[in-house]
Amino acid sequence: MFCSECGTSATGKFCWSCGRPVQQGVAQELKIVPAEPQTEVTLQDWTISLDCQAIVAIPAIRDRIKASASRAKSRLSGEKFLEVCDSFLSPLTGGVPFTVIAKISQPISERLGLKTGKSRTHFFAQPPGAVLVAVLCSLAENGQQIGNIAQAADCCTIAAALPSDVWSLRGDLRVSVRPATGGTTIEAEIVIPGQVYDWGKSKRALDRLFDDTIQLSRAA
């Protein structure tokens, strides 16, 4: 320690140089302040995340998807359309229902490699979480039931069913959401097996998906 009067290094009760009493200092205890734990993901963080499970677990997001599903319109399925045709055209098929013909012919055509569909890629300026939620809401509102979600660190791929209607029987819709520089990229593909023409159904379905995603992701 040092003398508070002359600054000379000193030990004991008195300074050997000036004779003044040496004040005993109080040892300072070194305190280690632990790092603050990471806070939980907030409601605003989901917009930059691509973790579908974590995003859908947020109550506000679940409510948003439910609201979209409640707006789904009941459409005339392809099977129902064929049932209506049966009532008028059964004499032309010898009494064999069109639904039975379709169930037999579609798998055969599929094995022969017949299929139709379309694919499209689009860039969005919105963050991946906002785009992913917009895609889920669009699928719900259009009655496209999800069959599988494949989660990766840099991609989330959603497989959904394209309902049958008067234009075609059931098809498969696959949507991949990927982060990109300055935004997000969506790759969407529709495949309708066992059918050569879908009369524009695939194009219309992709138009709805991308139009919905543009509007809903901006509102996130």
Domain assignment of residue 56, yes or no:
yes
The helix or strand, by DSSP H or E, that contains position 87, with its residue range, turns out to be helix 78-89
Domain assignment of residue 72, yes or no:
yes
Domain assignment of residue 81, yes or no:
yes
pLDDT surpasses 50 at 8? yes
Quick one: pLDDT band at residue 123, thresholds 50, 70, 90? Answer: very high
Which residue would you say has higher pLDDT here, 164 or 85? 164
Domain assignment of residue 39, yes or no:
no
pLDDT surpasses 80 at 7? no
Q: What percent of the chain has pLDDT over 70?
A: 61
CATH number of the domain where residue 200 is located? 3.30.530.20
Q: How far apart are CA 67 and CA 219, in angstroms?
A: 15
- Total domains in the chain come to 1
Report the chain's mean pLDDT, rounded to a whole number: 78
Instruction: Give tens-digit pLDDT for 166-182.
Output: 777 789 999 999 999 99
pLDDT surpasses 80 at 136? yes
Instruction: Give tens-digit pLDDT for 11-67.
Output: 666 665 666 665 554 333 434 445 444 444 455 589 999 999 999 999 999 999 999
Q: How far apart are CA 105 and CA 26, in angstroms?
A: 93
Q: What is the pLDDT of residue 35?
A: 47
Q: How far apart are CA 34 and CA 12, in angstroms?
A: 38
Domain assignment of residue 118, yes or no:
yes
Domain assignment of residue 156, yes or no:
yes
Domain assignment of residue 8, yes or no:
no
The answer to whether the predicted template modeling score (pTM) of the entire model surpasses 0.85 is: no
Q: How far apart are CA 62 and CA 66, in angstroms?
A: 6
Q: How far apart are CA 36 and CA 170, in angstroms?
A: 53
The helix or strand, by DSSP H or E, that contains position 81, with its residue range, turns out to be helix 78-89
Domain that holds residue 148: 47-218
Which residue would you say has higher pLDDT here, 6 or 146? 146
Q: What is the pLDDT of residue 168?
A: 76
pLDDT surpasses 50 at 95? yes
Domain assignment of residue 6, yes or no:
no
